[in-house]
Structure 1
Amino acid sequence: MSLTDDELDRYARQLVLPQFGGLGQQRLKAARVAVIGAGGIGSAVIPALAGAGIGHLTIVDGERVELSNLHRQPLYQTAEVGMGKALLASNHVRARNPHVGVATVSERVAPANAADLLGGHELVIDGTDNFATRLLVADTCLSLGIPLLSAAAAQYHGQVGLWRGRPCYRCFVGDAFDADDCDNCAELGVIGALTASVGAFAALLAINGLAGIGDDPARTLHLFDGAALEWRRIRIPADPECRSCGNMRGDGVD
């Protein structure tokens, strides 16, 4: 997949990286990524992926901008309160980089539409703020064989993990969080700069993975303490009783 003269100029600072180069840029251009949630995490992920030159982004969010969103969602302006997030985020991508194709899905992921929305992507990035949606997305990605990059932030704490096959996201959180009424940042609070930090880290992990840079980060959870300003990482073991991936063999997808 060749790059145009405009793309060569636009991505010049990436192309000169010895680990990245033209091959890495071509891999990004060929990639299709779905971003679930255009809130605090998505406000960092979406511009970063668009700027890096991901070939196609599908942005899924059924919510509208609220005034309380603005301290942590810089994709939106005060005058846009009440407007749909998915459409605004898609417009931002088009204005930022005309080489990125974008699909707008102004509805919530649900059991009836999850497979159709997520199918056909090389990577799904979930930045939603409730466990019911997160687990639905995780289970759907597992069934479709699509890697899931899950990012979350609340109060002063953030987490980012890439899940591919076994262990899966449900091995990490279990089955206790399937209800819609689990805590989210509206109840717990969150620092706006924290969502930006976690979202930017998630975007970098996605870009590296799609471009083929570094070791496979799957099965490792990255934890950020925003009060202490410290990152740490832990390996997540497979749960032999996991209802989603427990029937798989080994640590990968059969």
Structure 2
Amino acid sequence: MTSLAPLVAPGPELDPARLARYARHLPLPGVGAEGQRRLAAARVLVVGAGGLGSPALQYLAAAGVGTLGVVDDDVVDLSNLQRQVVHGTADLGRPKVESARDRLADLAPDVDVVAHAVRLTPENALDVVGGYDVVLDGADNFPTRYLVSDAAEVLGVPVVWGAIHQFDGQVAVFWGAPRPADGPRERGVTYRDVFPVPPPPGTVPDCATGGVLGALCGTVGSVMATEAVKLITGAGTTLLGRIAVYDALELSWRQLTVRPDPTREPVSALLADDAAYAAFCGLPAPSAAGDPAGATAGLGPASMTAPDAAVLLAGDAPVALVDVREDWEAQALPVAGARLVPSGTFFGPDGADVARAELPTDRPVLLVCAAGVRSARVADVARAAGVDARSVEGGAPALLLAV
């Protein structure tokens, strides 16, 4: 455990308004007025405005971080509000980056919030990450976690990583090239050192399948924000070289020591594209973004608007409607005529065989979930197996409004 030099040089002297706003930071050892000036000059990127990003963004804004970037291409869904507390009921259907930006503007008007309403990809990751001093990785999927790690290692940017599942959470700081307070620069531990191989698909359920305690997100996301503040100001000892593991049911923390793998070649370039990261994680390639219809290998479009889906369902041509939500979700908002096959069914090592067994191959298959995210993932698996599957944009709520 090595104390690190402050990541960011101090900005201008604090004016009276900022002295008043951050008065409770100023007496803190290791922070003080100089640390507050470092925070004001810092640029922090948060990947994901979801369960972990929500508390982290709010505490970083409240702490006076000068520029906060947020990357997310999703919209606010009702099921998000149990844990994604940066959003509210009035934000349903809005892009998450816009909802988060408005909340942070009210909380801390002097913070510049940069909304990146995109999915992080190998094509844009270096440009996006390269504009920031530190990255908080709150992604909910493995391809993005490896992409964030790779981009940060190429650029020499530290990553505060967090992950949650049901009642458990993990937090760590990864940095391929940390700066000790004294002594030469050394290669630090990265996400790939600790997790050189992703888990087999389907073995780690997502929040929709496995569930997550909402308050757990607040605990882990707050620790992530704390680690970012420590990196920026140089206060205390960061989690670089350690993973903190939290068990909410037992209310216990334990720490694991982690070190760089001396046999691993440092990452000097990103993998070629989304398909390469998906393949590394054992997942089918995402639908090509450059193809507006998303048509693949002679199949129909990969997605369909809810009004178009309603027209197709009302027509004479045979079509199957499959709901990939969990049973309790379907009970809360049923879709008449839909067959229920939860999304987790398709993400095991034999996902393609399962898709061919569970879904008809002689007609188009319309897939619905809560907002269109899970159904799009299932569509990718099904299409790779030769099934003409199409995700309904906006999910069950949009389809019910359209029929």
Q: Which residue of 1 aligns with 2:96?
A: 85
Q: Which residue of 2 aligns with 1:36?
A: 47
TM-fit CA distance, 1:198: 0.4
Q: Which residue of 2 aligns with 1:61?
A: 72
> Structure 1 residues 157 and 179 mapped into 2: Cα distance closer, same or farther (>3 Å)?
same
> Structure 1 residues 149 and 105 mapped into 2: Cα distance closer, same or farther (>3 Å)?
same
Pairing of 1:136-147 with structure 2 (within 5 A):
136-147=147-158
> Structure 1 residues 201 and 24 mapped into 2: Cα distance closer, same or farther (>3 Å)?
same
What is the aligned counterpart of 1:48 among 41, 51, 59?
59
What is the aligned counterpart of 1:203 among 219, 222, 225?
225
* SS of aligned partner of 2:189: coil
Q: Which moved more, 1:80-89 or 1:182-191?
A: 182-191
The gaps in structure 1 that reach 5 residues or longer are 247-254
Q: Which residue of 1 aligns with 2:146?
A: 135
Are the equivalent residues in 1 in contact too, given 2:29–2:235 (CA < 8 A)?
Answer: no
TM-fit CA distance, 1:101: 1.1
Aligned residues: 246
* Aligned-partner residue type, residue 23 of structure 2: A
Aligned equivalents of 1:79 and 1:53: distance in 2? 26
* Aligned-partner residue type, residue 200 of structure 1: S
Q: Which residue of 2 aligns with 1:174?
A: 196
The gaps in structure 2 that reach 5 residues or longer are 1-11, 177-187, 269-403
Aligned equivalents of 1:37 and 1:182: distance in 2? 19
* SS of aligned partner of 2:35: helix
Aligned equivalents of 2:200 and 2:132: distance in 1? 24
Aligned equivalents of 1:181 and 1:94: distance in 2? 39
Deviations 1:184-213 (A, max 9, x none): 222221000001110011111111221110
Are the equivalent residues in 1 in contact too, given 2:70–2:116 (CA < 8 A)?
Answer: yes
* Aligned-partner residue type, residue 44 of structure 2: V
Pairing of 1:210-229 with structure 2 (within 5 A):
210-229=232-251
What is the aligned counterpart of 2:35 among 21, 24, 29?
24
TM-fit CA distance, 1:170: 1.0
* SS of aligned partner of 2:30: coil
Deviations 1:69-114 (A, max 9, x none): 1100111112221111011111111111121111101111011110
> Structure 1 residues 179 and 87 mapped into 2: Cα distance closer, same or farther (>3 Å)?
farther
* Aligned-partner residue type, residue 232 of structure 1: R
Aligned equivalents of 2:263 and 2:102: distance in 1? 44
* SS of aligned partner of 1:234: strand
Q: Which moved more, 1:206-215 or 1:145-154?
A: 206-215
Q: Which residue of 1 aligns with 2:383?
A: none
> Structure 1 residues 181 and 114 mapped into 2: Cα distance closer, same or farther (>3 Å)?
farther
Identity fraction in percent: 39
> Structure 1 residues 73 and 178 mapped into 2: Cα distance closer, same or farther (>3 Å)?
same
Aligned equivalents of 1:138 and 1:30: distance in 2? 24
Q: Which residue of 1 aligns with 2:262?
A: 240
TM-fit CA distance, 1:43: 0.8
Q: Which moved more, 1:230-239 or 1:143-152?
A: 230-239
Are the equivalent residues in 2 in contact too, given 1:157–1:225 (CA < 8 A)?
Answer: yes
* Aligned-partner residue type, residue 94 of structure 1: A
TM-fit CA distance, 1:26: 0.6
TM-fit CA distance, 1:2: 1.1
TM-fit CA distance, 1:244: 4.3
> Structure 1 residues 114 and 235 mapped into 2: Cα distance closer, same or farther (>3 Å)?
same
What is the aligned counterpart of 1:185 among 176, 201, 207?
207
Are the equivalent residues in 1 in contact too, given 2:61–2:107 (CA < 8 A)?
Answer: yes
Aligned equivalents of 2:166 and 2:173: distance in 1? 22
Deviations 1:151-170 (A, max 9, x none): 11111110010001132101
Q: Which moved more, 1:164-173 or 1:189-198?
A: 164-173
Are the equivalent residues in 1 in contact too, given 2:87–2:103 (CA < 8 A)?
Answer: no
* SS of aligned partner of 2:223: helix
**TM-score, structure 1 length as denominator?**
0.92
Q: Which residue of 1 aligns with 2:369?
A: none
> Structure 1 residues 178 and 213 mapped into 2: Cα distance closer, same or farther (>3 Å)?
farther
Aligned equivalents of 1:162 and 1:175: distance in 2? 19
Which protein has the larger Cα radius of gyration, Structure 1 or Structure 2? 2
Aligned equivalents of 1:180 and 1:50: distance in 2? 35
Are the equivalent residues in 1 in contact too, given 2:227–2:238 (CA < 8 A)?
Answer: no
> Structure 1 residues 237 and 33 mapped into 2: Cα distance closer, same or farther (>3 Å)?
same
* SS of aligned partner of 1:58: strand
What is the aligned counterpart of 1:97 among 96, 100, 108?
108
Aligned equivalents of 2:264 and 2:197: distance in 1? 9
Q: Which residue of 2 aligns with 1:15?
A: 26
